[in-house]
């Protein structure tokens, strides 16, 4: 079982930001990545639709023999991970907006959260905000339109910068000192975000924390592959594998991207 791959899925290319952290921490682990770009953005769908898509992705990764699944999507995690954990007999790692560290570190007691509509409307987001940010004012903003821009490779464009300014200005007016990135597509926007945000605003992204948690759960379940090897990585997109490949260009590992109808 230990030599089986780690499965990772997202509504599209954004979860590659998580894959990179996982691969950096555990270079000998094989992985299978699903980019459900045909159905992006998940953030504009209903909870029932997000659940159905998450089940579909999980079944596919299970069929490919994965030993653990990383839900590399805040929207799918906050709406579906409880169901997945209850109904499938393998470990799931999720990602949700890192409100807790931002709240703990904030001096101005004002933090911003940029996430999808689906994440911000979820019960899990509500509970986490309530439990981990008492005495903190959270300024939330739906990042409508950002996922399609990243999906079409329009990362550092004027259009993207203007949209981000529109979402961030109200947060800056409220004196935020931390911005939580609540969507795995958004780390690709960090160069543009840095043009807009003053240095005093710290950007919080949970990619590294997810990779560490993945390692911890693999070890705890005796699933960690122990030997050195050149690992294999299959990336599947149900829309355009060339776009997905564009997000993996700098990787030294062999990352085969292909089309799969799912």
Q: How far is the CB of 201 from ligand DGL (least distance, A)?
A: 21
Q: Which is nearer to ligand DGL, 23 or 224 (CB)?
A: 23
| Number of neighbouring beta carbons within 10 Å of residue 250 | 6
Strand order in the sheet with 110-115: 137-142, 110-115, 178-182, 202-204
SS3 181: strand
CB 113 within 8 A of CB 97: yes
Q: Kindly state the smallest distance separating residue 147's Cβ from ligand DGL, in Å.
A: 4
CB of 49 closer than 8 Å to CB of 101: no
Closest to ligand DGL by CB, 207 vs 224, is 207
Distance CA 189, CA 192 (A): 5
Considering the complex, state which of residue 78 and residue 257 has its C-beta at the smaller distance from ligand DGL.
78
Q: How far is CA 184 from CA 86, 110, 131, 250, in A?
A: 24, 22, 23, 18
Strand, coil or helix: 60: helix
Q: How far is the CB of 117 from ligand DGL (least distance, A)?
A: 8
User: For ligand DGL, which is the closer residue by CB, 53 or 133?
Assistant: 53
Smallest separation (angstroms) from ligand DGL to the CB of 143? 8
Residues making contact with ligand DGL (CB under 6 A): 10-11, 14, 40-43, 73-75, 116, 119, 147, 183-185
Least separation in angstroms between CB 183 and ligand DGL: 4
Q: Which residue's structure tokens are 């998580």?
A: 18
Annotated active-site positions, please? 73, 183
How many other CB atoms are found less than 10 A from the CB of residue 235?
23
Q: Which is nearer to ligand DGL, 26 or 95 (CB)?
A: 95
Q: What is the DSSP string of 186-254?
A: GGGGHHHHHHHS-TTSEEE--HHHHHHHHHHHHHHTT----S-----EEEEESS-HHHHHHTTTT--S-
């Amino acid at each position: 079982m230990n030599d089986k791959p780690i499965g990772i899925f997202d509504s599209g290319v954004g979860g590659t930001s998580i894959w990179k952290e996982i691969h950096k921490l555990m270079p000998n682990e094989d992985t299978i990545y699903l980019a459900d770009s045909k159905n992006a953005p998940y953030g504009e769908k209903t909870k029932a639709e997000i659940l159905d898509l998450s089940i579909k992705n999980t079944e596919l990764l299970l069929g490919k023999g994965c030993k653990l699944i990383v839900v590399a999507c805040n929207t799918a995690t906050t709406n579906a991970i409880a169901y997945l954990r209850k109904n499938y007999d393998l470990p799931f790692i999720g990602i949700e907006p890192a409100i807790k560290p931002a709240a703990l570190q904030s001096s101005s007691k004002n933090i911003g959260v940029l996430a999808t509509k689906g994440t911000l409307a979820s019960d899990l987001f509500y509970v986490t905000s309530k439990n981990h940010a008492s005495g903190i004012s959270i300024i939330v903003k739906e990042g409508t339109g950002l996922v399609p821009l990243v999906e079409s490779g329009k990362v550092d464009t004027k259009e993207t910068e203007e949209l981000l300014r529109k979402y961030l200005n109200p947060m800056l007016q409220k004196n935020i000192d931390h911005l939580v990135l609540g969507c795995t597509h958004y780390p690709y926007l960090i160069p543009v975000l840095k043009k807009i945000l003053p240095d005093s605003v710290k950007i919080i992204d949970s990619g590294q924390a997810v990779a560490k948690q993945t390692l911890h759960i693999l070890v705890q379940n005796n699933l960690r592959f122990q030997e050195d090897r050149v690992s294999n990585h299959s990336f599947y997109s149900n829309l355009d594998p060339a776009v997905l490949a564009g997000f993996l260009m700098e990787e030294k590992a062999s990352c085969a991207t292909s089309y799969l109808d799912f």
